[in-house]
């Protein structure tokens, strides 16, 4: 039955080369932990992607309850944490996943760095990877404000002061992020929400697509 459906679609759209070009590729011996246990270091990138998927899914569920306004943000998170079925788990996954994605990405970066895998011809992929690193830090920073509790507000104030210290454009960056040159309030929360949920994930998906396209095109770096 499934085969018949597949053939029906394939006859019309020729999908076999589409997915085979992506999925049907070789895994060299030196990256396969089944053959060399030390090759587990090659798992960090994949695990970063895995946690990112968890972040996207749990984040989608969180927005079903979260309200980005200063009166209800904290209340909605409190309700989600204490009243909603499995709310504690979903918020926990998003909260701990945020830390985990940083850890995994850091380990992945170190693996690539110490193996010198960023050298010709993989310079562009390294640059895209560092940009992903920055986007992830931005996601962590903007997401920290959203529960609108004490530590969120005051950590954001510190973060905005750091941004303000940039020469020349500092005050403009702060106003762009916070919505006001001085007040960290209702505007800041909605802006951080928009950045956290739309702008940065959009950038992240684009960069990740580029990252994966390049690794598929070039293949993984050879053994040392």
Residue selected from 1, 5, 24, 217 as contacting another protein according to rule CB under 8 A: 24
81-89, 174-182, 190-198, 199-207 -> range binding another protein (CB under 8 A): 81-89
What is the x/- site pattern for another protein, positions 193-212, by CB under 8 A?
A: --------------------
Q: Establish if 97 lies at the interface with another protein (CB under 8 A).
A: yes
Q: Establish if 99 lies at the interface with another protein (CB under 8 A).
A: yes
Q: Establish if 120 lies at the interface with another protein (CB under 8 A).
A: yes
- Cis peptide before 77, with omega less than 30 degrees from 0? no
Distance of closest approach, residue 44 Cβ to another protein, in angstroms: 11
Separation between Cα atoms, residue 94 and residue 97, nearest integer Å: 5
Place of tokens 């209800």: 72
Query: Rounded to whole angstroms, what are the CA distances from 114 to 55, 137, 145, 166?
Result: 28, 22, 34, 31
Specify whether the CB–CB gap between 140 and 156 falls below 8 A: no
Residue selected from 64, 69, 96, 194 as contacting another protein according to rule CB under 8 A: 96
Site for another protein in 135-194 (CB under 8 A): 137, 140-141, 144, 147-155, 157-159, 162, 165-167, 184-185
The angle that helices 150-164 and 123-145 make with each other, rounded to 10 degrees, is 130
Residue selected from 41, 43, 208, 215 as contacting another protein according to rule CB under 8 A: 43
Nearest to 146 by CA among 182, 104, 200: 200
Q: Establish if 12 lies at the interface with another protein (CB under 8 A).
A: yes
């Amino acid at each position: 039955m499934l085969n018949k459906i597949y053939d029906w679609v394939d006859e019309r759209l020729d999908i076999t080369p589409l997915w085979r070009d992506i999925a049907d590729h070789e895994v060299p011996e030196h990256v396969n932990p089944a053959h060399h246990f030390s090759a587990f270091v090659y798992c960090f990138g994949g695990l970063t992607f895995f946690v990112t998927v968890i972040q996207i899914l749990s984040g989608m569920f969180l927005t079903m309850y979260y309200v980005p306004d200063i009166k209800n943000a904290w209340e909605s998170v409190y309700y989600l944490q204490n009243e909603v079925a499995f709310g504690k788990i979903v918020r926990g996954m998003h909260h701990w996943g945020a830390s985990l994605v940083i850890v995994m990405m850091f380990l992945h970066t170190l693996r690539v760095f110490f193996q010198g895998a960023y050298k010709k011809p993989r310079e562009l992929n390294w640059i895209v990877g560092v940009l992903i690193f920055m986007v992830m830090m931005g996601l962590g920073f903007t997401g920290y404000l959203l529960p609108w509790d004490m530590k969120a507000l005051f950590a954001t104030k510190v973060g905005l002061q750091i941004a303000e210290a940039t020469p020349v454009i500092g005050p403009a960056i702060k106003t762009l992020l916070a919505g006001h040159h001085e007040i960290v309030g209702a505007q800041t929360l909605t802006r951080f929400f928009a950045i956290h949920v739309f702008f940065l994930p959009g950038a992240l998906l684009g960069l990740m697509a580029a990252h994966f396209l390049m690794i598929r095109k070039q293949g993984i770096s050879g053994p040392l």
